[in-house]
Chains A and B, each alone.
Chain A
Amino acid sequence: MLEIKGLRAGIETKEILKGIDLVVPDGEVHAIMGPNGSGKSTLSYVLSGREGYEVTAGEATFDGQDLLSIEPEARAALGLFLAFQYPVELPGVNNAVFLRTALNAQRRSRGEPELDAVQFLKLARAEVKRLSMADDMLKRNVNVGFSGGEKKRNEVLQMAILRPKLAILDETDSGLDIDALKIVADGVNALRGPNFSALVITHYQRLLDHIVPDRVHVLSAGRIVRSGGPELAHQLEAEGYASVSEAA
């Protein structure tokens, strides 16, 4: 379970998150919606431990463990996964090697046995097939020369292989056509279950037609100004952020 209390954070002297309170229980999918500049990406980076963000107040715990004081790789080993809005290209790094290194690093830190190349490839190929990705996806360098849709699918592939307990999807829908969107959503939905929760950060309601959230939160100017059920997303789509924020 993810618990965020009174979280304030920003870059240098600029405060972007101005007191976030949020609980995502195990097994639930929560959506965070909000206009540009409301702090959606900052929240995902602060939770996953990117350098350059300063937390000035509050806390964030995952299954009772303080997240903010540990390294990004330790957060990943706890089961946290960030699907990047802009997945990073790694020239010279083979996608399969990258995925196996990541998976084995996580398994090692959890005291589980590592997978050898054969075991890993079997697992990875099955997921590639399930996500309707091209066979050569594993052989290519990480995200190099991938189209926008392929990059997002590669994020979902990583998620499917790493099997996180909590996934943060940072505008995973941006730049996706409707077919790719469906594949990505199916990939997330396949992971849903009592031991998986997700924080779906999005600008539009479109993705939430495919990944139906348990709760929707509206982020505005660094605060959650409104929370509700899935119907809130539809209301936002119909009336815009301004009306919802004002109503709060």
Chain B
Amino acid sequence: MSASAFLSRFDAARAVLPGDASLREAAAGVLRARGLPGPREEAWRYTRLRPLSEADYAMPVPGREVSLPASVAALDAPRLVFVDGTYRADLSVPPSKAVLRTGVPAMGPLARPESERLVALNTMLAADGAELSVAAGVDAGTVVLVSLGGEGVAFHPRHAVHLARGAKLTLIEICAGEGRYLHNPVTSITVEAGAILTHLRLQDEGIEAIHLSTIYADVAEGGTYDSFALTIGARLARMEVHARLGGTAAMAHLNAAQLLGGVQHADFTTVVTHDAPATQSRQTVKNVLTGRSHGVFQGKIEVSRIAQKTDGYQMNQALLLSPDAEINCKPQLEIYADDVKCSHGATVGALDADQYFYLRSRGVPAAEARAILVRAFLAEALDPIAHEAGRALLENAVAGWWERHPA
């Protein structure tokens, strides 16, 4: 669908969409003027939205029957379930230690529809979302946010998460579904002083689906946004994360792994803004690519003039299991302070032939040997995840990946 096709959907639906109409009109104006992102734009050089322009999506019909993935029940935690972008109270178990509001898009304070056009698309068409707030000093435990998508629809949920001073939350996000659909969520995350948000994400969308998500996270003094995103699903995916470290000693971990096969394309794009002294960011991004898949990592670290003693680290590693797989990696550092420590690195390689032979010489079959070596490659990113059930969810997803892409 083109921007104008989405705009005519908006024209048809604007009367029934809930929430602030002026925001929607402004976002529609952005799309009308500039359209969807195209390959001539620097930020979209490696990721073409062609599968999106070739698709045609209907508005979702609410209330369809679905079954929850077994992995969700296994987490045994409060859950917020969205089906085709609409909150489903009948499938959800609201948290007791966090305040939840649904039924309207949770626009949040951070989104920038004027600069991110997919956010403009979301702002224009968002119909629902979760607003999750944790009060000062409260440890709200674990909350699971589930999105299930179905054939032929586009949905643009808008979520906001707010952790007040000293609060704690682990948010586990699972995106799954079946068929050709577009999931275009935007999430605004504010972490107040000393608060800790752990955000584990499993993008396991249907293999024909398109996943385009944008997260804005703002971390205040001494706060932590600790995230890990595992991408294994979708035909075309882009996860964009904009994290701003706005208070002294704020910290952000934007770790990710992308496991792709077939003709999948996945893009992990981050912008970390160090906007206060002694802030710290860590990004370890691992790609395992087989078939004709294509992985992209674009990581930008911006250090403003006042952000002295910044510590920024970025590492992108790719394991190419097939000669037709491709990785693009674009690190960018923009530093205006003079006393900082910023480093980035990238490696690309195939499976180590010596390690592979060593395992096989001990009787480990070829496919199992590859799985062991890939798991070892991911260890640096997966092992530090302290949340046990969350890590198990991701481990199982990694283990199951081999059944989809037998090498």
Where the two chains meet, the residues of A that have a C-beta atom closer than 8 Å to any C-beta of B are: 48-52, 71-73, 75-77, 81-82, 84, 87-93, 98, 101-103, 105-106, 109, 158, 162
Contacts and interface: CB of A to CB of B under 8 A. Distances in A.
A102 B364 contact: yes
A158 B358 CA distance: 12
Given A51-B353, A51-B357, A91 B363 contact: no
B363 A76 contact: yes
24 contacts: A48-B361, A49-B357, A50-B357, A71-B366, A72-B357, A73-B369, A75-B361, A76-B363, A81-B362, A88-B355, A90-B359, A92-B375, A92-B379, A92-B383, A93-B372, A93-B373, A101-B368, A102-B359, A102-B363, A105-B362, A105-B364, A105-B368, A106-B363, A158-B362
B57 interface: no
Contacts of B380: 92
A105 B363 contact: yes
Contact of A84 (B358, B360, B365): B358
B68 interface: no
B21 interface: no
Contacts of B378: 92
Given A71-B366, A73-B364, A76-B363, A91 B358 contact: no
B363 A109 contact: yes
B362 A162 contact: yes
A77 B368 CA distance: 15
B361 A72 contact: yes
B354 to A, nearest CB: 5
A50 B364 CA distance: 14
Nearest to A99: B362
Given A76-B361, A81-B362, A106-B363, 13 more contacts: A50-B357, A51-B353, A51-B357, A72-B360, A72-B361, A75-B361, A87-B358, A88-B355, A90-B355, A90-B372, A92-B377, A92-B380, A98-B359
Contacts of A103: 363
Contacts of B66: none
A102 B369 CA distance: 10
Nearest to A91: B376
A75 B383 CA distance: 33
Contact of A162 (B363, B372, B377): B363
Interface of B: 353-355, 357-366, 368-369, 372-373, 375-380, 383
A101 to B, nearest CB: 6
Contacts, number: 79
**Residue among A72, A102, A103, A158 with the highest chain B CB neighbour number at 10 A:** A72
Nearest to B383: A92
B363 A73 contact: yes
A49 B368 CA distance: 17
A76 B369 CA distance: 14
The 7 closest A-B pairs by CB, nearest first: A92-B376, A92-B379, A76-B363, A102-B362, A106-B363, A88-B358, A72-B360
Contacts of B365: 73, 105
A73 B366 contact: yes
A90 B362 CA distance: 13
Given A92-B377, A93-B376, A71 B360 contact: yes
A103 B360 CA distance: 12
Contacts of B360: 49, 71-73, 76
Contacts of A72: 357, 360-361
B393 to A, nearest CB: 20
Contact of A101 (B357, B361, B372): B372
Contacts of B373: 90, 93
Nearest to A82: B361
B98 to A, nearest CB: 35
Nearest to A109: B363
A81 B362 CA distance: 7
A1 to B, nearest CB: 20
Contacts of B364: 73, 101-102, 105
Contacts of A81: 361-362
**Residue among B354, B362, B366, B373 with the highest chain A CB neighbour number at 10 A:** B362
A46 B369 CA distance: 20
A103 B366 CA distance: 15
B361 to A, nearest CB: 5
A106 to B, nearest CB: 4
A106 B358 CA distance: 14
B354 A88 contact: yes
